[in-house]
Amino acid sequence: VARMVAAQAKSLRKPVRWFSVPQLFRYERAQRGRLREHFQLNADIFGDGGESTDAELLALVIDMLREFGLTSDDVRIRLSDRRLLNAVLRALHHPDDRIPAIYGVLDKLDRTPRELSIDKLSAAGCTSAQVDELLALIETTHREGVSALTSLLSDGDGTERVTAMQATIAMAESLIGVPVAPWIRLDLTIVRGLAYYTGIVFEVFDAKGELRAICGGGRYDDLLSALGGVDMPAAGFGWGDVVLGELLRDRGLLPSAPPSPEFWVAAGDDVDAAMVRTTVGALRRAGRRVEYALRPQQLSKQLKAAVSAGAAQALILRADAPDRGTVRDLTSGTETTVELAAWLAGQQ
């Protein structure tokens, strides 16, 4: 999508707000929450580098979660900012050439035994004191949020990033009209493995920590320049259907199966197909759920199909009595003969 926008950048009205829901494939072993095939919502905003765009995306994520019936008790948005993390690492006296290695450790911190993570940080050049200080700070920010960083960050860039994150959260709260704090947790370990992220980054997880990330994204201000030679800030996220489906199933929030038809219109021998369609149409316009055989079939097969579809009743039409019909209860088998026009009028 970055290449597409870059190619048409001059003709597109800014900011560009695009979404897509492609069907994606990958070649790997299928497991819970990660399949070889899935659908994914991509939502991106191009052409604005401010906190208002970041807030717009966070608000969109929270609004969508709420539309699915999920609450802040069900999910957590783990939020960070690469610029903020860089400022934190510099304040902890880590040189710039060490930061990429630290990113690699932090990205897998919650999936790696603690001692192994400590060994990797040490191998990257961190002293024992620096390791302890970094891990302690991460735990503190989980509890206290961005305010835990104010005493550490005294330089302009660091304090500006704290202020910007606070502003982003406040703007998102204004957009959705409910407190955002219960949904969001500052988590400096969220760096997103892809190197093109430049600013705010986030991932959404179930609150119990039992599943993979539901969605993730962030700001990638340099990507269009790298791919298409166009200097245009951008931010967005991707949201797959697989983990979301698992979470909704666990919470009992998956929609029920489509309701069964109320009526199945069945045709006896020599009944005109137009009569069947007219009757079906009248029932559907009355708000009834109706099915019928699309091709001519024996009446017995039609009634068997009606039972298989879960229809409650069958309306049987016969060629020798075009003004009447037989309503059969498909559970009890009882039948009632009705005047067709009056019966249809009564279904309104």
pLDDT in tens, 111-146: 899 999 999 999 999 999 999 999 999 999 988 888
Query: Element (H or E) spanning 285, and its range?
Result: helix 273-285
Residues 317 and 218 in one domain: no
Instruction: Identify the pLDDT of residue 33.
Output: 81
Residues 104 and 241 in one domain: yes
Instruction: Identify the pLDDT of residue 156.
Output: 65
**158: which 2 tokens?**
């660091």
255 within some domain: no
Residues 123 and 238 in one domain: yes
Q: What angle do CA 246, 248, 254 make, to 5 degrees?
A: 115
Residue ranges in the chain whose pLDDT is less than 50? none
Distance CA 185, CA 144 (A): 9
CATH number for the domain harbouring residue 310? 3.40.50.800
Q: How far is CA 145 from CA 57, 192, 259, 327, in A?
A: 20, 19, 46, 65
8 A C-beta contact, residue 178 and residue 58: no
Contacts of 296 (CB under 8 A, 6+ apart): 267, 273
Q: Of the residues 250, 275, 304, which one is the last residue of a structural domain? A: 250
279 within some domain: yes
Residues 91 and 223 in one domain: yes
Residues 306 and 216 in one domain: no
166 within some domain: yes
Q: Which residues does residue 76 pair with via DSSP β-bridges, in sequence order? A: 205
Residues 201 and 240 in one domain: yes
Q: Are strands 75-81 and 184-186 parallel, antiparallel or unpaired?
A: parallel
Residues 210 and 152 in one domain: yes
136 within some domain: yes
Residues 108 and 77 in one domain: yes
CATH number for the domain harbouring residue 191? 3.30.930.10
Burial 75-112 (b: 16+ CB within 10 A, else e): bbbbbbbbbbbbbbbbbeebeeebbebbbebbeebeee
- Termini Cα distance of the chain: 49
Q: Of the residues 250, 271, 299, which one is the last residue of a structural domain? A: 250
Residues 53 and 155 in one domain: yes
Residue with tokens 């510099």: 90
231 within some domain: yes
257 within some domain: no
240 within some domain: yes
Residues 245 and 277 in one domain: no
8 A C-beta contact, residue 215 and residue 228: no
Q: Of the residues 195, 224, 250, which one is the last residue of a structural domain? A: 250
pLDDT, one tens digit per residue, over 152-201 is 887 667 788 888 999 999 999 999 999 999 999 999 999 987 788 999 99
Q: How far is CA 347 from CA 9, 260, 288, 289, 337, in A?
A: 56, 17, 8, 11, 15
Residues 131 and 270 in one domain: no
- Structural domain including 298 reads 263-345
The SS3 of residue 81 is strand
Residues 146 and 173 in one domain: yes
How many domains does the chain contain in total? 2
258 within some domain: no
